[in-house]
Structure 1
Amino acid sequence: MMSARPRRTGEPLGMSEDVHSRGLIDQLHFSPDTGHIRLLEQRMLLMHAESFAALRHELITLLGIDKARELITRLGYQQGFEDGHRVRDAGIGQGIEGLNLGPRLREIEGFVRNQPNETMRYDIEQGEFFGDYHWRASWEAEAHLRHHGVSGSPACWMMVGYADGFCTAYTGMPIHWQETECVAMGHAQCRVIGKPLAEWPREEAGHAHFLQIDTFVDSLAGARHRHGDRVQDLEGFVGASAGFNNVARLVRKVAPTDSTVLFKGESGVGKECFARALHSISPRSGGPMISINCAAIPKELVEAELFGVERGAFTGADVTRPGRFERAAGGTLFLDEVASLSLSAQGKVLRAIQEREFERVGGTEVRKADVRIVAAANQDLWAEVEAGRFRRDLFFRLNVFPIEIPPLKERREDIPLLTALFLERSMARCRKQVRGLSTSAYNALWNYDWPGNVRELENMIERGVILAEDDGVIDVQHLFAGGEKLQDGAFNLGPGGRLVPEQSEHLPSSAEEAIVDQLLDEGVSFEQIESLVLSRALQRSGGNVSATARLLDLKRGQVEYRLKRRHDELI
């Protein structure tokens, strides 16, 4: 509850504290003079619960209960994922203590009262996670009951999404909580059980369906039923980030049409995977999807590959064979790295798209091009047009419905889901079992810049499975054994296969070593050294916490936590 005395602008909100929330309380600030409320260095809004309940009711009325549930659950997931990483970055708690801050945050925000039924179990190296909570005074369940009456299914959608997102971000592995009892269903209280997503049978995963493979569109389940093993081409199509879901929304919009689609984005972001998803939910899904990598074909063979060749058309053409346009009849033709086409080939592709017809090399028969064109480019095609390397008229033909796929570094929320998927796939491919990834390995994946995007992540996980011991744990040195540069600099494999910094990293000077030796000789403890450094940094910063954090290369929350801890030790 709030402290009785008046507070100054920007002063932390005073509340009754416990072992799990002591550091959190210092992160909550009201600044009425600037119109800001901040929690964990992010801006918050104090909203009217009844207005939010009315908005929830409107969403259900307009979208239907299934769509509204997916939208609200995903909103909760985004909130939880952001909080999970901010708690980790602030260094407020470790292990179970840090995980318990997720429920405490939701209590501070007024959503629910959490009552654990047993101690949460969490061992990332064993891949173990289990939680069992009763939710009391759930705002969401009460709102649903008030607006819609007794429900046939659980209604704490945002809370479930938040729990999923927080635990997934904090542990680095996909965690799902399932509501087994709900006040909206007539139970006395709500109850949730949390386990790794992989341990939930697909039919029991409930609200986690938006985290599952290629289920971002309603009709894809039908596509899986109709085309069976062809859906395995989509395995790897997972995501919960805003960037992923925006692309999925655009794919869903354009899929029922026959319009040309241009996927743009860096190499390895999954352009072909999205193209296959587009084909699978389009009216042309019963036809073939034919792909061609334009960069991999010699210039002199492009025309023959695209349009086919008649026997004897040129030296070496011993048989008549159809081209990609012909083989894709009734389906989709995917032109990958389309910017690599020569200007001559671009002109022929333009004619085939524009006139919907073509001729084989060495042939005279005009053939119809009954295909949908989906192209992909990892370069800025407009810049290529301006440079004279790409035809302006072809650009406008391809750019009917452009979709930009963000790089992996801009949708890091997808990393735990992709990691879990690639780990399962790599273990099957390598015929080897590992228990999972270490905490430091997950941290390294999160902090890495991913120049190779999703493709690089998949390759790195497979490398980790190969290098890790049987039934062992994948650690940082197993993942980053290919010369990749981590945020703190370049790393190499040292003696015993451990990952060590390059020699260019800063080493202590003789003066620094002398200072450390003196402190060690005098028996000064680590806590005393930390306290001395913190005190001196505060003095030099004039008591400004933000300036102190910059001086010590820490986050503001980490400095506030240390100051609070010192204060508690003194009283």
Structure 2
Amino acid sequence: MNAKTEQGGSAAQPGYAGWIDRALAEHVRFAPDVGQIALFGQRMLLLHASSFTALRRELVERLGIPQAREIMTRLGYQQGYDDGVRVLESAGDHPIEELLSMGPRLRAMEGFVVNRPIDGMTCDVERGTFWGDYLWTFSMEAEAHLEHLGLSGAPACWMIVGYASGYCTAITGIPILWREIECCAMGHSHCRVIGRPLAEWSDLSEDDTSYLHAETFVGLPKSDAPGPGAKPSALGNMVGVSAGFNAVAGLVRRVAPTDSTVLFLGESGVGKERFAKALHSISARVDKPFVAINCAAIPDELVESELFGVEKGAFTGADRSRPGRFERADGGILFLDEIATLPLPSQGKLLRALQEREIERVGDSRVRKVDVRIIAAANRDLRQEVEAGRFREDLFYRLNVFPVTIPPLRDRRSDIPLLVSLFLQQFSARFGKTVAGLTRHAHEALWNYDWPGNVRELENMIERAVILCDEGGSIDIQHLFAGGEKINTRLFGIDASGRLEEAGRNAPGDTPVDDPVDSLLDDMTSFKDLEEALLKRALRRCNGNASAAARMLKMGRGQFEYRIRKAMDRSAE
């Protein structure tokens, strides 16, 4: 798909801006009696510009320009991505050029900046290409910077640039990076921005992309940083802009300088070991060993010898003495993955080692002191394991000093385009293969998939797709979902106007299903009954999670909450 759009319309596209304004007007709601403003189903605020600029100035004064820029750009990116997702959910089959044009108009309507196209935006999703060139006038951020900080030596429209990057990334499924090359805060007569795919920028500075990477966000303050011999951080290839990802990164940053025990919790494949290595790389123990052990991969009878070591002759086959993981990690960090699988006898001995900071090898009576920081990980609910009698309560409380829950990928979908781009670069380079990009259908399928295997599954899926797709071609659904994965499909849904519509499409190889509309009409007495049943069933299937239920029905959360509230009120009458 190749699309070119120019905000404000063109001779080739009469009435274009008018359609956008009408579409936006249909999705703005004011409810002053309940203190709510909604845009595309999400709650909005009318915020005093003077308060915002004062907050911006305080961030700069307290944190310095680099960190303030990173925070503001990330905030703008999240706003843009959220708007883009809701535009996609509400827009139906409108072409991508129309959806892209909504972004500049939305930001103008929100009072941040006025956009004037130079070349507008050109996009070919299947080839992974994008180009944008705009002039900005009346930039709220540039005016705020000039007012509070004076003339700048660098561009200052951080949040607006972040918004443009996030919005275009959500609409296209391609990680898009906009850069400001002229700025009123620098003394130019206007601001000018250029947008390209992230992978195509060859001269990026750390400031341009720091908001996308955990590296600088998690990096220790200079006063706490390890010495000259420190190893580089393991976070360099970890990307994310979601609130969940950045919350974990922030917790890692806080706990890294300490010696506290850390417990990473989360489903398989969310990256617990990767975060543990990242913590090690920015800790005071960075020049000491990082030793990992997967407790689930060790036979029960060998757990103690693996953890604590073994003396020669301790049992048949022990023909030499060898240290265990505790001794090998002395001075550094021991990572105990899948700790919930440890047998109960071994849990008791582990507890003693943690309490006394000493171990005994199997078959030995000598006590050895060890200086080890423990990081553990579990993909089960340890409290439930304690209640079931499978995990020692005293060991749980010894480990649960600083718990960090890593959210599953389905709860941080805004990270998917960045991760896809990262994995595409890695595997294309490894296999010496050129891949144009992903089709729009492929992007949609990745967005709608439930990701039971999380980031690890996404990585494997992209590796497989790079192998299967043609040289120079685009990755499509059949390349991604060739391992037996089931693409989520819905038999029906409710569109933004509340009308029943067919939704989704069958995955390759799936058996088509009969159209359910006739039977629904036979069973339901009215549309309100049908709507109420859909809303309640979606909420029940999502275990009461309103955001997930809204996504299931392709609705904004605010729109879903409004409709379910009305349905509940009708039921109570």
Q: Do both share a fold (TM > 0.5)?
A: yes
Name the structure 2 match of 1:297.
298
Structure 2 Cα separation of the partners of residues 259 and 444 of structure 1: 41
TM-score for both structures, normalised by structure 2 = 0.82
How far did 1:234 drift?
4.5
Structure 1 Cα separation of the partners of residues 252 and 374 of structure 2: 14
Name the structure 2 match of 1:367.
368
Would the aligned equivalents of 1:309 and 1:321 in 2 still touch at CA under 8 Å?
yes
Pairing 1:505–2:505 present: no
Would the aligned equivalents of 1:343 and 1:390 in 2 still touch at CA under 8 Å?
yes
Name the structure 1 match of 2:549.
none
How far did 1:100 drift?
1.3
Structure 2 Cα separation of the partners of residues 224 and 43 of structure 1: 46
Structure 2 Cα separation of the partners of residues 79 and 295 of structure 1: 41
Would the aligned equivalents of 2:71 and 2:211 in 1 still touch at CA under 8 Å?
no
How far did 1:18 drift?
2.5
Structure 2 Cα separation of the partners of residues 372 and 432 of structure 1: 42
Secondary structure, aligned partner of 1:413: helix
Structure 1 Cα separation of the partners of residues 75 and 288 of structure 2: 36
1:71 maps to a residue whose letter is: I
| Equivalences for residues 431-470 of structure 1 within 5 A | 431-470=432-471
How far did 1:181 drift?
1.0
Q: Residues 82, 556 of structure 1: CA spacing in aligned structure 2 closer, same or farther, 3 A cutoff?
A: closer
2:84 maps to a residue whose letter is: G
What do the CA deviations read for 1:472-507 (whole angstroms, capped 9, x no partner)? Answer: 1110111111221212179xxxxxxx9535226225
Structure 1 Cα separation of the partners of residues 333 and 483 of structure 2: 37
| Equivalences for residues 230-241 of structure 1 within 5 A | 234=235, 236-241=237-242
1:258 maps to a residue whose letter is: D
Would the aligned equivalents of 1:178 and 1:206 in 2 still touch at CA under 8 Å?
no
Secondary structure, aligned partner of 1:406: coil
1:405 maps to a residue whose letter is: I
Structure 2 Cα separation of the partners of residues 429 and 158 of structure 1: 35
Secondary structure, aligned partner of 1:441: helix
Pairing 1:88–2:96 present: no
Number of residues paired by the alignment? Answer: 503
Q: Residues 469, 489 of structure 1: CA spacing in aligned structure 2 closer, same or farther, 3 A cutoff?
A: farther
1:182 maps to a residue whose letter is: C
1:349 maps to a residue whose letter is: L
Name the structure 2 match of 1:122.
123
Pairing 1:395–2:403 present: no
Q: Residues 129, 318 of structure 1: CA spacing in aligned structure 2 closer, same or farther, 3 A cutoff?
A: same
Secondary structure, aligned partner of 2:366: coil
| Equivalences for residues 272-421 of structure 1 within 5 A | 272-421=273-422
Name the structure 2 match of 1:209.
210
Where in structure 1 are there 5+ consecutive unaligned residues? Answer: 1-14, 491-497, 513-539, 561-571
| Equivalences for residues 24-173 of structure 1 within 5 A | 24-91=24-91, 93-173=94-174
Secondary structure, aligned partner of 1:147: helix
Q: Residues 235, 143 of structure 1: CA spacing in aligned structure 2 closer, same or farther, 3 A cutoff?
A: closer
Secondary structure, aligned partner of 2:311: coil
Where in structure 2 are there 5+ consecutive unaligned residues? Answer: 1-14, 492-505, 520-525, 536-551, 560-573
Structure 2 Cα separation of the partners of residues 412 and 108 of structure 1: 26
How far did 1:355 drift?
0.6
Structure 2 Cα separation of the partners of residues 195 and 218 of structure 1: 28
What do the CA deviations read for 1:266-312 (whole angstroms, capped 9, x no partner)? Answer: 11110001100100000000111000000000011111111111222
How far did 1:223 drift?
7.6
Name the structure 1 match of 2:566.
none
How far did 1:339 drift?
0.6
Would the aligned equivalents of 2:66 and 2:207 in 1 still touch at CA under 8 Å?
no
What do the CA deviations read for 1:3-61 (whole angstroms, capped 9, x no partner)? Answer: xxxxxxxxxxxx99534433222212223333222211112111221121112222222
Secondary structure, aligned partner of 1:284: coil
What do the CA deviations read for 1:445-498 (whole angstroms, capped 9, x no partner)? Answer: 0011111111111111111111111111110111111221212179xxxxxxx9
Structure 1 Cα separation of the partners of residues 357 and 146 of structure 2: 57
2:413 maps to a residue whose letter is: R
Would the aligned equivalents of 1:292 and 1:335 in 2 still touch at CA under 8 Å?
yes
